[in-house]
Amino acid sequence: MKNLRWNNFLFQLVAFLLALAFTSLIMVFAGAPPISAYVEILGGAFGSVNSLANVVVVWMPLLLVTSGLLITFTAGLWNIGIEGQITLGAIFTTAALRLLQESSLPPWLIILLAMLAGVAGGALWAVMAGLLKTFGGVNEIFGGLGLNFVATALTLWLIFGPWKRPGTGSMSGTEPFPDTLWLPQLPGLRLSPWSVIFGAAAIYLVYRLLSGTYFGLRLKAIGKNVRAAFLLGVPAWQHSLLAFALCGFFAGLAGALQVTAVYHRLIPSISSGYGFLGLLVAMLVNYQALWAAPVALFFAALNIGSIQLPIMLNLDSSLSGVLQGMLVLFVLLTEGARKRWLQKNG
Amino acid sequence: MNVELRDIHKIFAAVHANNGINLKIPAGVIQGILGENGAGKSTLMKILSGFYQPSQGQILLDDKPVIIRSPADATRQGVGMLHQDPLDFPSMRVIDNFLIGHPGELIPDRGQAAAQLEAIQQKLGFSLRPEAHVDTLTVGERQQLEILRLLWLGVRVLILDEPTTGISALQKEKLFAALRLLAQEGKTIIFVSHKLEDVEVLCHKVAVLRQGRLIGEMLPPFNITRLVEMMFEKVITLGNRRSCCRGEISFRLNALELEDARLHIPGVSLEVQGGEVIGLAGMEGSGQALFLRACAGLVRAVGGHISINEHDLTGKPYHTYLEHGIAYLPAARLEEGLAPGMTLTEHFLLAGEARGFNIDWEQGRKVAQERIADFNIRGTPASPIEALSGGNQQRALLALLKHPLNLILLEHPTRGLDIESSIYIWDKLKERCAEGAVILFISSDLEELLQYSDRLLVFFSGEVSSPLDAERTTVEHLGQFIGGKGWAA
């Protein structure tokens, strides 16, 4: 058993090194010095309190999204529609804030209601994908993909249509909300302590839910063999829908945070790609909720760190995406290799 | 083709699945391979057909040492294997399945292939329609298709793994006739089974495996008692029939009418006493599976009524059936009954009553440990279910049953299991009968049907017989009845 764990760790390490090596190779082809690029990324992510705070600003929504995805993954569902669910969370939050900002309600209540609206929006979009699958026979990958496009179109329509800034709509988004409607932030930083509370609570709750409750066990059974789960008395489609709803709940919360804690308005790419990034994290941690926190932190650090690259080395910041993608590919690859190796030598 | 296996070893982790096996099979011989579950039969055959590489040892075909790298390589060298579960493509047509795996042109010549298919099947006495879709065929017919395909590919050694499970008596006759013909032509036939009667009527030579070793070989006339001793180290008898009927009616069907895409079962009426066992006999696909699923609440009846202990369950959803103590155990254990990737403990927790919201894992492991001991399952609470052998999976499935139950519905409860496991499983089932549960089970094993049932229902293309008294029915009579003889018009 102990040997197996070592063996697993060794393969993961090899995957990480391979991902680094291949990304370096790409940099060499692009004419950039890999070592200084990595140094820049590290410095950009952890070099100052400010950059560290920015890493956390990315880390928390990513953790929320990953928490949600762990639920759907466990139930055997590929919730590709996660991007749209974040976006709908942001749209609903913005709508609630716009609706209530002129009212006499205290700001904290307005923010609370707006966040609840966001959560509902995310859950609604997720349940749509679930209903399409359960009653329409549409695979959740296709349904989710379609709903993502609808969500993006809806955002653009709102920004350039009904919610456009006074004068003319622009890609910079809707009119920012007054800072009374912002979630409280740490002095001098973009980071709100509420994000940290939500992120930490989400991953802990999901960890408990999946490893210690009958609900989690039933989801796992559905994910492993839906037919057997049904025959053993698990209400299968109801649980699938609930898994979608819960995932949408967390995605919607991430979207709500993007509006209330980060951008303070609706912008065209409000999800910041955290949905797809969350899918990568969830795949990488392979159902183990506790690992989601460090892996999401690493991904967040890569994202923030690579912002420096265009300035310092004239490289595109999408390099972090290359490294993240490589990492997932190599981890999956070495996992396959490890299984083969175990079959031969185990 | 002469086949020779020299000192074959296969080691999986802690298991020595094949331990120094030497076997010579001359061309034109039907070689039987006997052994209980886990004796190493399948491993040996998978080595010969290229699925596994031996850890040590040599294979000789026509006295030349060969290395068989893959199943495709095996067919190229003339060795083909017919698997227990047909490896075909159910949604495709017969002719397309036939063509798959055939090396050839970019664009296959279907007309020519169909003509060749026709020629081979005429010789063997099969009658498959090339345009039929494979999912409309019975298991026996799918087997025939696979044999035809392998022969067309030029196979000269044909390995059959438990070919008589799940096929009708009639199809078995056809299969045996075809195999005899192929042997006369000089093909080598290897027949893997744990059914003594099949081996007895078919084989020219039998080898017995036990715990990975070749125990010995026997030529006809076969001494069955001796063969059983070689397989199990001791003689096993099935024990006495015993009935647990209680007198009062517990399960009632009133003119139950069923329908699916292929079959129509016109009204079945049946009254079953608590503790009674009803065997459902018939060729695969004659309606018994549909009937069983209707009793489980998985298929809705077109007409009539189902009730258990005077509760009318007609048209109610599956979970209502569960609440009334009805359990259904499907034949496809890993596909429908159990969830691969989950441990025994997780299965027991899932199937048991949820105590609150949170799981008490300590308690769960304790329960699992108890059930494992109680049902004699070879595994630990942390064993993934797919790591257990077929017999142990079946025991696990039984161990998942709730307490108490009113009605247990089983599909092929002992398919693929050796005699000892079968007896064990029926002991456990009879305990449930003694507690008052009704059992309805499907089986294609006539001995099993007669041994354990109180009454029998025979299905023949949607027709259902009136209940037969199992004690006064013989294997011959039942066999004929299943084959469609003796039905009053």
Q: Which domain holds residue A228?
A: 59-314
Residue B373: Cβ-neighbour burial (10 angstroms; 0-12, 13-18, 19+): exposed
- CA B192/CA A264 separation, integer angstroms: 72
pLDDT attached to residue B438: 94
- In a domain, residue A239? The reply is yes
For residue A218, the chain B residues in CB contact (below 8 A) are: 350
Query: pLDDT tens-digit profile of B75-87?
Result: 999 999 998 777 7
> Which distant-in-sequence residues (6+ apart) come within 8 Å of B215 by Cβ?
B208, B209, B230, B231
Q: Tell the CATH superfamily of the B3-232 domain.
A: P-loop containing nucleotide triphosphate hydrolases (3.40.50.300)
Choose the closest CB to A233 out of B13, B319, B357.
Answer: B319
Q: What is the CATH number of domain B249-482?
A: 3.40.50.300
For residue A225, the chain B residues in CB contact (below 8 A) are: 335-336, 338-341
Determine, for residues B350 and A231 on separate chains, whether the beta-carbon distance falls below 8 Å: no
Extract the tokens encoding B225: 């008692």
Per the listing, tokens 């691969």 go with B340
- pLDDT bin (cut points 50, 70, 90) of residue B37 is low
Pairing of strands B311-312, B303-308: antiparallel
- CA B107/CA B36 separation, integer angstroms: 45
Determine, for residues B338 and A227 on separate chains, whether the beta-carbon distance falls below 8 Å: no
A213 touches chain B (CB under 8 A): yes
- pLDDT bin (cut points 50, 70, 90) of residue B66 is very high
Query: pLDDT tens-digit profile of B316-360?
Result: 999 999 999 999 999 888 888 999 989 999 999 998 887 788 899
- CA B464/CA B444 separation, integer angstroms: 16
- In one-letter notation, the amino acid at residue A190 is R
Mutant choice from B350, B367, B397 vs A, greatest count of A C-beta within 10 A: B350
pLDDT attached to residue B307: 93
Determine, for residues B354 and A214 on separate chains, whether the beta-carbon distance falls below 8 Å: yes
CA distance to partner chain A, nearest, from residue B450 (Å): 28
By the 8 A CB rule, do B289 and B441 touch? Answer: no
**% of chain B surpassing 70 pLDDT:** 96
The answer for B 358-397 residues in CB contact with A (under 8 A) is 358-359, 361
B351 touches chain A (CB under 8 A): yes
By the 8 A CB rule, do B164 and B172 touch? Answer: yes
For residue B383, the chain A residues in CB contact (below 8 A) are: none
Determine, for residues B339 and A228 on separate chains, whether the beta-carbon distance falls below 8 Å: yes
Determine, for residues B338 and A215 on separate chains, whether the beta-carbon distance falls below 8 Å: no
pLDDT attached to residue A244: 97
Query: pLDDT tens-digit profile of B348-361?
Result: 999 888 778 889 99
The domain spanning residue A300 has which CATH number?
1.10.3470
Name the residue ranges covered by the structural domains of chain B. 3-232, 249-482
CA distance to partner chain A, nearest, from residue B97 (Å): 27
Determine, for residues A221 and B349 on separate chains, whether the beta-carbon distance falls below 8 Å: no
Determine, for residues B338 and A225 on separate chains, whether the beta-carbon distance falls below 8 Å: yes
DSSP state of B13: T
- CA B150/CA B133 separation, integer angstroms: 19
Choose the closest CB to A231 out of B336, B346, B357.
Answer: B336
Query: pLDDT tens-digit profile of B426-458?
Result: 988 999 999 999 999 998 778 888 889 999 999
Q: What are the residue ranges in chain A where pLDDT is below 70?
A: 1-5, 344-346
A182 touches chain B (CB under 8 A): no
Counting one residue from chain A and one from chain B, the pairs whose CB atoms sit within 8 A come to 59
CA distance to partner chain A, nearest, from residue B396 (Å): 13
- Closest of B187, B214, B164, B232 to residue B41, by C-alpha: B214
B277 touches chain A (CB under 8 A): no
Determine, for residues A213 and B357 on separate chains, whether the beta-carbon distance falls below 8 Å: yes
For residue A215, the chain B residues in CB contact (below 8 A) are: 357
> Which distant-in-sequence residues (6+ apart) come within 8 Å of A114 by Cβ?
A93, A94, A96, A97, A100, A181, A256, A259, A260
ipTM metric: 0.85
Determine, for residues A231 and B337 on separate chains, whether the beta-carbon distance falls below 8 Å: yes
- CA A249/CA A118 separation, integer angstroms: 8
Determine, for residues B335 and A225 on separate chains, whether the beta-carbon distance falls below 8 Å: yes
Please give the angle made by the CA atoms of B147, B148 and B150, to the nearest 5 degrees: 65
> Which distant-in-sequence residues (6+ apart) come within 8 Å of B401 by Cβ?
B327, B329, B351, B408, B432
Choose the closest CB to B358 out of A212, A224, A346.
Answer: A212
Choose the closest CB to B336 out of A215, A228, A233.
Answer: A228
Mutant choice from B326, B333, B338, B408 vs A, greatest count of A C-beta within 10 A: B338
Report the number of distinct structural domains present in chain A.
1
A277 touches chain B (CB under 8 A): no
The answer for B 41-100 residues in CB contact with A (under 8 A) is none
Choose the closest CB to A228 out of B319, B338, B361.
Answer: B338
Choose the closest CB to B339 out of A216, A221, A346.
Answer: A221
For residue A344, the chain B residues in CB contact (below 8 A) are: none
By the 8 A CB rule, do A323 and A19 touch? Answer: yes
Choose the closest CB to B335 out of A218, A221, A227.
Answer: A227
CA distance to partner chain A, nearest, from residue B94 (Å): 28
Determine, for residues B350 and A234 on separate chains, whether the beta-carbon distance falls below 8 Å: yes
Choose the closest CB to A233 out of B322, B338, B341.
Answer: B322
- In a domain, residue A327? The reply is no
CA distance to partner chain A, nearest, from residue B332 (Å): 10
Choose the closest CB to B359 out of A214, A233, A234.
Answer: A214
pLDDT attached to residue A1: 47
Mutant choice from A74, A219, A225, A237 vs B, greatest count of B C-beta within 10 A: A225
Highest mean pLDDT among B46-50, B93-97, B167-171: B46-50
- CA B27/CA B206 separation, integer angstroms: 15
Please give the angle made by the CA atoms of A20, A21 and A24, to the nearest 5 degrees: 85
Pairing of strands B311-312, B213-218: unpaired
Determine, for residues B359 and A220 on separate chains, whether the beta-carbon distance falls below 8 Å: no
Which 3 state secondary structure label does DSSP give A157? helix
Determine, for residues A220 and B336 on separate chains, whether the beta-carbon distance falls below 8 Å: no
Choose the closest CB to A232 out of B350, B356, B357.
Answer: B350
- In a domain, residue A308? The reply is yes
For residue B338, the chain A residues in CB contact (below 8 A) are: 225, 228
pLDDT attached to residue B68: 93
Query: pLDDT tens-digit profile of B69-124?
Result: 999 999 999 999 998 777 788 888 998 888 887 877 778 888 888 998 999 999 98
Choose the closest CB to A232 out of B341, B351, B361.
Answer: B351
Determine, for residues B358 and A213 on separate chains, whether the beta-carbon distance falls below 8 Å: yes
A205 touches chain B (CB under 8 A): no
- In a domain, residue A6? The reply is no
Q: List, as one string, the DSSP characters of A234-257.
A: --HHHHHHHHHHHHHHHHHHHHHH
Q: Which residue of A has its CA nearest to B360?
A: A212
Which 3 state secondary structure label does DSSP give B381? coil
Determine, for residues B341 and A224 on separate chains, whether the beta-carbon distance falls below 8 Å: yes
pLDDT attached to residue B237: 59
- CA B82/CA B403 separation, integer angstroms: 40
Choose the closest CB to A229 out of B318, B322, B339.
Answer: B339
Determine, for residues A212 and B400 on separate chains, whether the beta-carbon distance falls below 8 Å: no
Residue A281: Cβ-neighbour burial (10 angstroms; 0-12, 13-18, 19+): buried
Average pLDDT, chain B: 87
